[in-house]
Chains A and B, each alone.
Chain A
Amino acid sequence: MSTHTPPRYPFAWTPPMQMPEALKDVHESSAMEVTLPSGDTATLVTRYQDVRALFADKRLSRNIARPDCARISKDNDLFMDPHIDPDPPKHTQVRSLVTKAFTARRIESLRPYVQEVADELLDEMAAGPRPAELNEAFAFPLPIKVICKLLGVPAEDRDQFRGYVDGFLAVTKLPPEEIGRARQNLWKYLGDLIEDKRKHPADDLISEFIRVRDEDDNRMNEHELHFWCQGLLIAGYVTTASQIGTGTAVLLHRPDLVREIQADWSLVPSTVEELLRTQIMGSSVGTMRYAIEDIPLSDGTVIKKGTSVLLSEEGANCDPRVFDKPFELDIRRQENHHMTFGAGIHYCVGAALARMELQIATESLLRRFPDIHLAKPAESLPRALGGFMEGFTEIPVDW
């Protein structure tokens, strides 16, 4: 019997603002064993080539509500709803309902709204106390307002559901009863909202889902309707919000780069991509898969049928075979095809929206406050640990 315990995953961040030190060693082979917060072990696939291919591989099932699949946490079975089938053909059916709302044209039609919200929030921030806390003042409200508009959720409810979502996404930072309560509250909140929208449909995504569901029970049942509304609400803001806050903090830690951008605004998109590449907020705990067949990897290792697999987006993103000087923050990096939004049929449906929000947020902030800087040393910024999202929780800024 081996006495060796596989390393803990998610890997610890390297303070203050670098990618986890552990990532420097993960590419020696195509895969490694890791220990999850639950104590279960899983196989982490680490090289770009394999990660990208496996995102599209039908031999890996996304249906992980199986008794022998590893769990991320004993106290939170996020992503493990046994009534939801996330594999094709069901997945394809639901996804095609959603993608309509996320075409480039639809996203572009939201651009003026996003800019308006960003400007309003920055006005308020300028008029408020200094230093300001960037998450509260800007990074969270911006994507919340946008996703609320898209889904048709009243923005006034945001404090309420934000609390539930925070509990929902806890891994070890809250006791299991509290996680359970947050989930129930969120489910109930959405149930009430859906009932309300059934009576008063509007031009928004939830109303559209309800319409499709009520017309044809086979496309989406009531449980699926709730599930996907919840998924879009959570995914639509927490990820973008953490990325705006934490990505900005990382950028402000490098005033030289801030000056470079301010001298040439066309660098904003590549800066956003580079921050997406190097600062994955949620590690890769959301990419749990289950092998339904044996799968050989690029170095000859075989993932055996029945293995629980995590696809390491951060491993792929710093694979030296693909990225030159992968641990360096290079805001001029060309062809930055990082894996932060996944790949294949599960590619993040909100990626284009997130990119647009991140670009607007970054440029508007640096234009409005040319001298913006961190009001505390980077080393002292607290990072959220023990949750599915691991961004900085407090980012005091001054200008």
Chain B
Amino acid sequence: MRVVANSATCAVSSLCVYRLPGVFDQDEEGLVLVLDEHPDTGLHEEVRRAVRACPTNSIRVVENG
């Protein structure tokens, strides 16, 4: 799994950062950053949840990436 984020559409809800602090972070402006592009298998379900929860659809996963 590869995690991809689009900071251009991020609305700084911080939801992804709270859910998975090791995978997502925010820059000075609050825009999303991906810290870990290839999270452990054990985190995959939680990453998918974060994707569904993002209010701006700014994060997604490439399942075979």
Contacts and interface: CB of A to CB of B under 8 A. Distances in A.
A66 interface: no
- Which secondary structure dominates where chain B touches chain A? loop
A99 B12 contact: yes
Interface residues of B, number: 20
A335 B53 CA distance: 8
B58 to A, nearest CB: 10
B9 A352 contact: no
A261 interface: no
B29 A99 contact: yes
A252 B50 CA distance: 31
Interface string B15-47: 101100100001011110000000000000000
Contact of B56 (A104, A105, A344): A344
10 contacts: A56-B56, A99-B12, A100-B30, A103-B14, A103-B30, A104-B18, A335-B49, A345-B11, A352-B15, A352-B18
A100 B28 contact: yes
Interface residues of A, number: 22
B29 A96 contact: yes
Residue from B26, B28, B55 having most chain A Cβ neighbours under 10 A: B55
A372 to B, nearest CB: 28
> Across chains A and B, which 6 residue pairs bring their CB atoms closest together, nearest first?
A99-B12, A103-B30, A99-B30, A343-B55, A104-B14, A352-B14
Interface of A: 55-56, 96, 99-100, 102-105, 107, 335, 337, 341-347, 349, 351-352
Contacts of A104: 14, 17-18, 21, 26
A343 to B, nearest CB: 4
Contacts of A346: 11
Nearest to A339: B55
A346 B31 CA distance: 14
Contacts of B49: 335
Given A345-B11, A347-B13, A351-B13, A103 B52 contact: no
A21 B57 CA distance: 32
B53 A337 contact: yes
Contacts of A347: 11-13, 55-56
Contacts of A349: 11-12
A178 to B, nearest CB: 36
A105 B31 CA distance: 12
Contact of A343 (B29, B30, B56): B56
B13 A105 contact: no
B43 to A, nearest CB: 16
B24 to A, nearest CB: 9
B21 to A, nearest CB: 8
Contacts of A352: 13-15, 18
Contacts of B52: 335, 337
